[in-house]
Chains A and B, each alone.
With several copies, the nearest count.
Chain A
Amino acid sequence: MNRRVPILRQGQTLIASVKDAVSDQEMRDLQARLLSDVVNTGASGAIIYVSALDVLDSFGSRMLSDIAGAIRLRGARTVIVGIQPEMALSMVLLGLSMGLVETALDLDAGLEILGHGVRL
């Protein structure tokens, strides 16, 4: 079982759509590919879409922060999109936060943060 998380491109933004259940190895694989795609395409932003993810535990949120940190070092920005209320509750109970990582409720808001969408 090693399904790769698909990474799409929309203009200057890469969008990784995480499926329901992702193993730690698949998360690490996503990290490596998203980072190299940012470098190769010169994308200015990345969105990691997690709304279908089944669980966001201590490893998962750590990975998301790490990915965002690595992408920042390449001069691009990351937005975590679609955190569900029950995921947020697990995160708060586990003692986790997205800290300095940008979040958005949905794809439109995520794209707007990265400077694509239409403003009000």
Chain B
Amino acid sequence: MTSCRILADGDVVVARQMARKRAGELGFSRVDQALIATAISELARNIVHYAKSGHIEITEVNRGRRFGLQVVASDQGPGIADIDLAMTDGYSTGNSLGLGLPGTRRLVDEFDIESIPGRGLTVTFIKWKP
């Protein structure tokens, strides 16, 4: 497992580069590396914007014959009260595009989002190796 503290702008870059490198070593295609890095970029930026600090954890996962990369983005920020709303294209409480969460789900194979409002947000995704 590799973990990366997310506190500021620059950490977003560090996290996505770390993940891309790991994905490359594990034999993910260039395209998959880019999709993983982009997904992490979106989630890590949200941590900086909405929760001030958090973590990105990268682990390898096996399920049956499948092998993949699992990424957990977690924070102890305000969390999200209405997950369905936050997962809607274009919904943003910031001044941004509101495509980060719904878009990230489309970049990955499995996606899970859980929040205890007031206690934080945890987004988990898996990208399987084809």
Asked if A and B form a direct contact in the complex, defined as CB atoms under 8 angstroms apart, the reply is: yes
Q: Which residues of A contact B (CB under 8 A)?
A: 1, 21-25, 54-59, 62, 84-87, 89-90, 93-96, 100, 102-106, 108-109, 112-113, 119-120
The count of A-to-B residue pairs whose CB atoms sit within 8 angstroms is 99
Mostly helix, strand, loop or mixed at chain A's interface?
Answer: mixed
Number of chain B residues close to chain A: CB under 8 A = 36
* B 86-115 binary contact with A (CB < 8 Å = 1; else 0): 000100000011011011111111111000
Would you list 16 pairs from A and B whose C-beta atoms are within 8 A, ordered by A residue? A25-B10, A57-B100, A58-B100, A58-B103, A89-B31, A90-B35, A90-B38, A90-B107, A93-B107, A94-B103, A95-B99, A96-B97, A104-B106, A105-B35, A108-B109, A109-B106
Determine how close the nearest CB of chain B comes to the CB of A8; give it in whole angstroms: 22
Which residues of B, 13-43, contact A by the 8 Å Cβ criterion?
13, 16-17, 20, 30-31, 33-35, 37-38, 41-42
List the 9 closest A-B pairs by CB distance, nearest first.
A94-B103, A86-B34, A120-B112, A90-B38, A120-B110, A93-B106, A86-B31, A57-B41, A21-B13
Closest residue on chain A to residue B102 by CB atoms = A95
Identify which of residues 38-72 in chain B touch chain A, using a CB-to-CB cut-off of 8 Å: 38, 41-42, 45
